[in-house]
Structure 1
Amino acid sequence: MPELIFRQPDGSTQLVSAENGSSVMQAAIRANVRGIEAECGGACACATCHVYIAPSDLLLIPAAKEEEEDMLDGVCAERREGSRLACQITVTDALGDMIIDIPDRQY
């Protein structure tokens, strides 16, 4: 089971075991990661699971689809090169030890 590292804006981290095939958002919700709101439950309809993925780690996940890109246009926190919606990232063994930065706000 891969372990993901969620990093808060204050620098604190939380190590989360994630099931392969689940989404990064589902892993965060199960572990009560602060800052992942997931209002729509993973339907790519709210952008409240916005996260930052390091540019080097973006190579480990498929590129964002048009629907996700559209939602990212409306995020509350700064949109960056590594902005993604956690509900659209599927957990695989390749993501083990990936650091996922949480924005300072989702609303």
Structure 2
Amino acid sequence: MVKITYIEHGGAEHVVDVPLGLTVMEGARDNNIPGIDADCGGACACSTCHVYVDPTWADKLPEKEAMEEDMLDFAYEPGDTSRLTCQLKVTPELDGLVVRMPEKQI
């Protein structure tokens, strides 16, 4: 298990333990974290699991693949640290990861 902090747009923090091998999106879904809709269930076919990764973590994550880059074009106000949580597999290296939800998911 690794600890991941999900921060809602309004500032509410949710620190949860997420099992290794799941995705950051599945960790949010399984812990009823508001702000990550995950409409496609993790197939990288929508952008409703979009988050802003805390800048201290941005360089520690795997590179975005082309499909994630394409789907982020549909996200609400994507930025330099935007990621789709369905594409972030939970590994021991992600212990302490902090992500912030956008104002809304589209």
Number of the residue aligned with 1:73: 73
Q: What aligned pairs does 1:10-25 form with structure 2 within 5 A after superposition?
A: 10-25=10-25
Number of the residue aligned with 2:27: 27
1:95 partnered with 2:81? no
Q: Distance in 1 between matches of 2:8 and 2:39?
A: 19
Q: Distance in 2 between matches of 1:31 and 1:60?
A: 24
Equivalent residue of 1:63, what SS?
Answer: coil
CA positional deviation for 1:97 = 1.5
CA positional deviation for 1:49 = 0.2
Gaps of 5+ in 2: none
CA positional deviation for 1:78 = 1.0
* Paired amino acid for 1:104: E
* Paired amino acid for 2:16: V
Q: Distance in 1 between matches of 2:80 and 2:61?
A: 14
* Deviation sequence 1:44-81 (CA, Å, 0-9, x none): 00110001102331222111000000000111x21110
Identity of aligned residues (%): 40
Please give the root-mean-square deviation of Cα atoms over the aligned residues, in Å. Answer: 0.9
Number of the residue aligned with 1:41: 41
How many residues get paired?
106
Q: Distance in 2 between matches of 1:71 and 1:9?
A: 21
Q: TM-score normalised to the size of structure 1?
A: 0.95
Runs of 4+ off more than 6 Å: none
Q: Distance in 2 between matches of 1:54 and 1:48?
A: 18
Equivalent residue of 1:29, what SS?
Answer: helix
